[in-house]
Amino acid sequence: MKRFLVMIFVYLLTGMSKGQDEGELTHEDMADTSAILTSNTTHRQCTPPIYTVLKELGALEEKLAAAVRALEETNKKLEITEMKLSALNRTVTELSQLDTGQPKIAFSAALQKVGNIGPANFLYPLVYSHVLSNIGGHYSPQTGYFTAPVRGVYYFTFNSFCWENSGSCGGSLYKNENHIVSWFRNNPNHPTSGSNMVALLLEVGDLVNVRLWSNMIISDNANRYTTFSGFLLFPM
């Protein structure tokens, strides 16, 4: 700026030395001087001060730092999600392997008889010949026996039904030749039903069936009130 002012001063002195009076610049000289001043002023207006540039750079730096922090938080959340998914996949795989390794054993059957069975003067093995399901094929609809294929804990349930005026009803579930649980009814004035259930530890080859007591009866019809069911809870 100082240099510019010196140049103007020298220019003015030079014009005066050529015989011009003080303050009597030509029209061209005035135009040139005005153009120079205008150009310098425009340049000063278009060029932002250094502190403004630094301020804008500082603001951009803060925005960049905030964006970096947000990205880091997102990455942490993604890592946590990936860890959870990995743990879930391991659990699903383990459960799938367990399910594949466990034998599938279950059955359910109903009496085929319409009417009464009994009375007989001995323990009468009931044959539930109407098979509803027999997964694994370990229940026999010909004999009424279930045979344990693996050592494990099994769950059994049976339901019984008796018509009115048909006499007393009763029987038991047997494991091999051992009486386990029973049902009984001695009111002949109206139809009645009974049930029982049990969880048993069975060895391979153990037999389970339901037997009618001596001189007792049991009834059924197409509604299938009298059933025998069982399934493997877990192997041992």
Give a yes or no: residue 118 inside a domain: yes
Give a yes or no: residue 142 inside a domain: yes
Average pLDDT across the chain, whole number: 80
- Domain with 224, as residue range(s), is 106-235
**Model pLDDT, residue 45:** 52
Per-residue pLDDT reduced to its tens digit, 73-110: 888 888 888 888 888 887 776 666 565 677 899 999 99
The yes-or-no verdict on residue 115 having pLDDT over 70 is yes
| CA-to-CA separations, 23 to 16, 19, 30, in angstroms, rounded | 9, 12, 11
Per-residue pLDDT reduced to its tens digit, 136-179: 999 999 999 999 999 999 999 999 888 876 677 889 999 999 99
Give a yes or no: residue 203 inside a domain: yes
The yes-or-no verdict on residue 113 having pLDDT over 80 is no
Per-residue pLDDT reduced to its tens digit, 19-54: 444 444 455 555 555 555 455 555 455 556 787 877
Structural contact between residues 226 and 171, judged by C-beta atoms closer than 8 angstroms: no
Confidence grade of residue 198 (pLDDT, cut at 50, 70, 90):
very high
Distance CA 111, CA 162 (A): 13
**Model pLDDT, residue 142:** 96
Residues 147 and 224 in one domain: yes
Which segment of 31-35, 74-78, 115-119, 206-210 scores lowest on mean pLDDT?
31-35
Residues 136 and 226 in one domain: yes
- In total, how many domains does the chain have? 2
Paired tokens of 28: 């061209």
The yes-or-no verdict on residue 5 having pLDDT over 50 is no
**Model pLDDT, residue 182:** 93
Residues 22 and 118 in one domain: no
Distance CA 117, CA 127 (A): 11
The yes-or-no verdict on residue 6 having pLDDT over 80 is no
The yes-or-no verdict on residue 3 having pLDDT over 60 is no
Residues 122 and 34 in one domain: no
**Model pLDDT, residue 19:** 44
Residues 26 and 136 in one domain: no
**Model pLDDT, residue 22:** 45
Distance CA 136, CA 128 (A): 17
Percentage with pLDDT > 90 across the chain: 36
**Model pLDDT, residue 26:** 53
